[in-house]
A and B are shown apart, each in its own frame.
Chain A
Amino acid sequence: MKRAGIEENLLAILDSVSDSKHTPDANDDRLAFLEAVRSACIVNENPPTSKMREAVFQILRVGKSLELITESFRLLNELDKRFPRVYLSEKEASESSHLVVVEEGWSPFLFNLEKASREREAGGRSISGPLDSSGFLQLMQELAEVANERKLQALEIKSLRNMLLFKYLVNALEGDFLPRNRVYEETMNWTHLRESLLNMLLSTRRINYKGLMKDCLSIMCGLFGVSAGISDDLESPDNAASKPSHNGNTASALALFELGNNACIALQKLLIMIMDLDMSRKKADMQGYTTRADGVRTPLMEIILDELSYDTDMLSPFLKNDLQVFNEPKWKLEIILQYFSKYTTRLSTRTRRSNGPTEDATTFSGVLNCFSNITNTRSISKKIKADVVQVLLAHAFQAHLSSSSQQDADGISASKDEGRSTSLVEICENIISAFSNLRRTDAKMEILPIGKEALFTAATILSTETGAHV
């Protein structure tokens, strides 16, 4: 009863506010509401009701001032952190963790078709209530527009709001997915993942999943450029002179770097989650836990590999930008290795006979071995353009460097690859010989900046490592 009382009182603040009203008074009421929810729920630890969360979410979706959208974003995240809908129950160390799902808990997504359409009929407005999959698709398309046009449009409140909204949604998906995936890995109970928001979002037939994923990839490199590119535009002297005292502009430009960058990170998080889901799904498929109702979905990895080989004439945008943005080492390396394995399988089986079983394109050192002599290098260069090879090798090297330092950190020495893994010194030597061989196959080949940087790094590590050993 107390909760209901609080809810009624808090929601009363918004009584005179409708979604389309953006007068200073209305905005002030919204702020007062956010502050009141914060003080009631976060400071005084009363769990928020669904209606309260819904109202906060609605402010994030329609808010027209920077203050409103950032405040509501912050509050939603704090609420989710303090009162999660899905979490692992704390048990004794011996027992496996147990998943707790608050069924009546609010979520920003609504995938139940009937319910969604009923609500839509009742509400009569498109922008109200939790998002369904087509709402998510629309958000992604709007983000893609901003990311690809690279105009000052990005400074508009709508674009900033979309970035924040997207980041919040990814946070919500993550909060739901991570505990479920952990329990799945322990119990192999696919139901947990089948009911995850992420799985429901992706498996609905109402959206074009492949298109959505391609949008994601193009947004990632676009947004990266937008947040870096526009900033420099804004700071150019012409702009500064024309609007010397434009405070609002400073505020949104500052916000743009922050939000654009955050959206980029969120996007990467989303992609990694999808690949993790794909992996769990593969396991469940093999063990026969999935049913026909689960449908079929192309794994994200395959879509990415398609994108990689899409544009053969010039470096695909994925190669040029996404790999730079996408810096999670494990998956980055995985993507590159799988790409190489598409072109080197036959080669490596051929060489396997002559050189023994070490030649294998499924590890980084295996790939590097393919470039260890001129004959092999030449035969690969016929299939993959030298530019592409350079970019891929450089990024794989980078991912290898990050993941090896990560492994040191985790203290994992008995990882699967341990038997085949090669020392850092060897990797560096092999990188250098790979690039030298590439140059030898084509003397006119220009070494790309990223290739030069990789070479420099390899050489420097080599000199310090060997110097230390002497």
Chain B
Amino acid sequence: MDAPLDFEFEDPLLNSPVIVKKSKKVIGLDDLLTDHYQEKSKVIERESKRAKAKKKYDSDEDDFDKEALLSKQINECHNQMQEMSGEAEIATWGVHVFGTQKPLPVLTLPELGSCSLLRSFMSSELNSLVELTTEKVETFLEGLLVNGWLSKLVNTCSYMEKSIAKWTFYLMLYSSKEKLRASACDFWCNILFPRVKTEKLPIRIEWFPSYCELRSALETYGFLFNYLSRTESIINNSGVRGPPKNIRAWIKFVAACCCVRNKRPVFSTSEAEELVEVAVFLSSDRQLEGLLVLLDEFVQSVISYFTDEEWNISCEKIARSISCRRVDVHSLLISFACRSPRDLNCLQTVECISGVSTRGNHLRSAISYQILLNCFDNKASNEEEILSFLISINVKDRSCDLFQMYIYLVLTENWLLSNPMFELKPVIYEMWGVYLRNCSCQITSTDMRPYASKGSLKFEPAVQVLSIQNTISF
């Protein structure tokens, strides 16, 4: 790229508002990119100036027209620049895992009136003080729930009848009032985590929700279990897009259920596997961004639901399933939304699983590995092949997509560093070292391509961590 000529900096004409706006945006490597555009705009302006100079001999009356032309050109140039910078803009993660929400079922529980808790009370003489009638039953129960009496009652009597269980469960999942669903959720969590630590739940519960009910609630919320049906819901824009606010209670409740397996196993292994996938996909939707901490706990509790033997098999199964679904989403996005294959979602899929636990790390590593395998489209089928493929990429080549490289880099890092056992062959780590060195030597700090800086920032700590762990010596 040509360096700007000295006089250009002095030329006041070049201080177009466009440039001023741009120049205060970024420093550092991104700055160079901006400079690049700046220069381009300067070239265009210079052309236009030249054109103007050529016409200098024409009558001055044209000046207005020329100015109009110039400003038009500047505007065009501005737009062009915006387009260009738009291309280079960092893609962000985020998929819609919720499509059109189905109408939430109206809560009518005819049994509620016949609930024995209230029946016996209404006939007692004390009712002269409380004045409870059949019509007021629901309001009264809501009060009992919101003010915390219901859980005291159930705890003290160690018994919950079916109508109450169902009523509170449906309130939690489908009520449109935050107070009610939050109280109902607290109520259930309270029952699942009683203060008394016993081997069984100390409370006799006449009715307990099954996975089926929880799953169908998610469906009602619009959750896209079958990702191939996503296109319909994206195109069909009528209706309300899910999730409703009840998703928060749903997550809390399912997480609580996962923690009490020894007292009451609610899910089968395959159901729990599906729940892990659900948890990961929920973490990829920006609508749930604010629930990050909750989702994090959710992922942790679901993965700790498994026994050790189950986990070793299930972890691989989950990883394969997630990476396949991810590819489906990916290709759909390309074909229907015409997006370039730049996709940070796969990184989010990995990074939303916090590495605080061994199992979390295990899953992170497994998913990264499976996604890498998928990325190479069966060109690589094992660890060595992936790494030799990575090493073979010539990052100096200008056509090499550094964004893609960045994704490979992060995935590889997660695959190898999160692997809790370090059980892979030493040759793997040596190859990784070679790959990292390739990247660090070949991507210079003056590289203009987008993601050059991000890549280099990413691998420096990785190199350091790697060398600290002495798994490889540089």
Write out the residue numbers on chain B whose beta carbons fall within 8 Å of the beta carbon of A308.
none
Q: What distance in Å separates the Cβ of A327 from its nearest Cβ neighbour in chain B? A: 7
7 contacting pairs across A/B (C-beta < 8 A): A67-B289, A255-B291, A258-B290, A405-B155, A409-B194, A436-B129, A463-B120
Write out the residue numbers on chain A whose beta carbons fall within 8 Å of the beta carbon of B469.
44
| A409 in contact with B197 given A235-B245, A254-B247 (CB within 8 Å) | yes
Q: How far is the CA of A324 from the CA of B143 in the complex (A)?
A: 12
Write out the residue numbers on chain A whose beta carbons fall within 8 Å of the beta carbon of B176.
232, 235
Write out the residue numbers on chain B whose beta carbons fall within 8 Å of the beta carbon of A235.
176, 245
Stretch in B74-82, B353-361, B366-374 with 4+ CB within 8 Å of A? B353-361
Q: How far is the CA of A401 from the CA of B149 in the complex (A)?
A: 9
| A16 in contact with B26 given A67-B289, A436-B129, A459-B121 (CB within 8 Å) | yes
Establish whether residues B90 and A453, one from each chain, have CB atoms under 8 Å apart when the complex forms.
Answer: no
Establish whether residues B418 and A255, one from each chain, have CB atoms under 8 Å apart when the complex forms.
Answer: no
Establish whether residues A258 and B248, one from each chain, have CB atoms under 8 Å apart when the complex forms.
Answer: yes
Q: What distance in Å separates the Cβ of A337 from its nearest Cβ neighbour in chain B? A: 19
Asked whether A261 is an interface residue with its Cβ less than 8 Å from the other chain, the reply is yes
Asked whether B132 is an interface residue with its Cβ less than 8 Å from the other chain, the reply is yes
Q: How far is the CA of A240 from the CA of B247 in the complex (A)?
A: 17
Q: How far is the CA of A23 from the CA of B21 in the complex (A)?
A: 13
Write out the residue numbers on chain B whose beta carbons fall within 8 Å of the beta carbon of A252.
290
User: B245 contacts which of A15, A26, A231, A460 (Cβ < 8 Å)?
Assistant: A231
Q: How far is the CA of A424 from the CA of B152 in the complex (A)?
A: 13
Q: How far is the CA of A235 from the CA of B124 in the complex (A)?
A: 40
Establish whether residues A16 and B289, one from each chain, have CB atoms under 8 Å apart when the complex forms.
Answer: no
Establish whether residues B290 and A456, one from each chain, have CB atoms under 8 Å apart when the complex forms.
Answer: no
Asked whether A119 is an interface residue with its Cβ less than 8 Å from the other chain, the reply is no
Write out the residue numbers on chain A whose beta carbons fall within 8 Å of the beta carbon of B407.
none
By secondary structure, the A interface counts as helix
Q: Mark A17-45, 1 if CB is under 8 A from B, else 0.
A: 00000011110100010011011101110
Q: Mark A51-83, 1 if CB is under 8 A from B, else 0.
A: 000000000000000110011011000100010
Q: How far is the CA of A44 from the CA of B469 in the complex (A)?
A: 9
Asked whether B468 is an interface residue with its Cβ less than 8 Å from the other chain, the reply is yes
User: B147 contacts which of A39, A78, A324 (Cβ < 8 Å)?
Assistant: A324
Q: What distance in Å separates the Cβ of B380 from its nearest Cβ neighbour in chain A? A: 24
Asked whether B425 is an interface residue with its Cβ less than 8 Å from the other chain, the reply is no
Establish whether residues A39 and B461, one from each chain, have CB atoms under 8 Å apart when the complex forms.
Answer: yes
Establish whether residues A254 and B461, one from each chain, have CB atoms under 8 Å apart when the complex forms.
Answer: no
| A251 in contact with B287 given A227-B178, A455-B129 (CB within 8 Å) | yes
Q: Mark A417-453, 1 if CB is under 8 A from B, else 0.
A: 0000000100000001001100100000001011011
Establish whether residues A398 and B149, one from each chain, have CB atoms under 8 Å apart when the complex forms.
Answer: yes
| A78 in contact with B286 given A40-B465, A432-B126 (CB within 8 Å) | no
Asked whether B393 is an interface residue with its Cβ less than 8 Å from the other chain, the reply is no
- Nearest chain-B residue to A3 (Cβ)? B468
Q: How far is the CA of A12 from the CA of B459 in the complex (A)?
A: 13
User: A456 contacts which of B26, B149, B418 (Cβ < 8 Å)?
Assistant: B149
Q: What distance in Å separates the Cβ of A20 from its nearest Cβ neighbour in chain B? A: 11
Asked whether A2 is an interface residue with its Cβ less than 8 Å from the other chain, the reply is yes
Establish whether residues B149 and A454, one from each chain, have CB atoms under 8 Å apart when the complex forms.
Answer: yes
Stretch in B51-59, B223-231, B292-300 with 4+ CB within 8 Å of A? B292-300
Q: How far is the CA of A155 from the CA of B88 in the complex (A)?
A: 31
Establish whether residues A10 and B290, one from each chain, have CB atoms under 8 Å apart when the complex forms.
Answer: no
Write out the residue numbers on chain B whose beta carbons fall within 8 Å of the beta carbon of A240.
240
- Nearest chain-B residue to A464 (Cβ)? B157
User: B290 contacts which of A66, A398, A463, A464 (Cβ < 8 Å)?
Assistant: A66
- Nearest chain-A residue to B28 (Cβ)? A16
Establish whether residues A408 and B153, one from each chain, have CB atoms under 8 Å apart when the complex forms.
Answer: no
Write out the residue numbers on chain A whose beta carbons fall within 8 Å of the beta carbon of B351.
35
| A251 in contact with B286 given A228-B178, A257-B245, A456-B132 (CB within 8 Å) | yes
Write out the residue numbers on chain A whose beta carbons fall within 8 Å of the beta carbon of B92.
24, 28
Q: How far is the CA of A439 from the CA of B128 in the complex (A)?
A: 11
Write out the residue numbers on chain B whose beta carbons fall within 8 Å of the beta carbon of A259.
290
Establish whether residues B464 and A9, one from each chain, have CB atoms under 8 Å apart when the complex forms.
Answer: yes
Q: Mark B1-32, 1 if CB is under 8 A from A, else 0.
A: 00000000000000000000000011110110
- Nearest chain-B residue to A439 (Cβ)? B129
Establish whether residues B294 and A457, one from each chain, have CB atoms under 8 Å apart when the complex forms.
Answer: no
Write out the residue numbers on chain B whose beta carbons fall within 8 Å of the beta carbon of A74.
292-293, 296, 354
Establish whether residues B355 and A38, one from each chain, have CB atoms under 8 Å apart when the complex forms.
Answer: yes
Q: How far is the CA of A71 from the CA of B132 in the complex (A)?
A: 49
Establish whether residues A25 and B26, one from each chain, have CB atoms under 8 Å apart when the complex forms.
Answer: yes
Q: How far is the CA of A47 from the CA of B339 in the complex (A)?
A: 41
State which residues 278-330 of A face B: CB under 8 Å: 324, 327
Establish whether residues B148 and A327, one from each chain, have CB atoms under 8 Å apart when the complex forms.
Answer: yes
| A36 in contact with B288 given A78-B354, A409-B195, A453-B149 (CB within 8 Å) | no
Asked whether A247 is an interface residue with its Cβ less than 8 Å from the other chain, the reply is yes
Establish whether residues B245 and A254, one from each chain, have CB atoms under 8 Å apart when the complex forms.
Answer: yes
Establish whether residues B464 and A43, one from each chain, have CB atoms under 8 Å apart when the complex forms.
Answer: no
Asked whether B396 is an interface residue with its Cβ less than 8 Å from the other chain, the reply is no
State which residues 140-154 of B face A: CB under 8 Å: 140, 143-144, 147-149, 152-153
- Nearest chain-B residue to A452 (Cβ)? B130
Q: How far is the CA of A180 from the CA of B361 in the complex (A)?
A: 33
Q: How far is the CA of A465 from the CA of B356 in the complex (A)?
A: 46
Write out the residue numbers on chain A whose beta carbons fall within 8 Å of the beta carbon of B461.
6, 9-10, 36, 39-40
Q: How far is the CA of A15 from the CA of B456 in the complex (A)?
A: 14
Q: Which 8 A-B pairs have the closest CB atoms?
A: A255-B290, A231-B178, A409-B195, A70-B292, A43-B355, A16-B28, A401-B152, A409-B196
User: A70 contacts which of B130, B131, B293, B356 (Cβ < 8 Å)?
Assistant: B293
Write out the residue numbers on chain B whose beta carbons fall within 8 Å of the beta carbon of A402.
152
Q: What distance in Å separates the Cβ of B289 from its nearest Cβ neighbour in chain A? A: 5
Write out the residue numbers on chain A whose beta carbons fall within 8 Å of the beta carbon of B149.
398, 453-454, 456-457
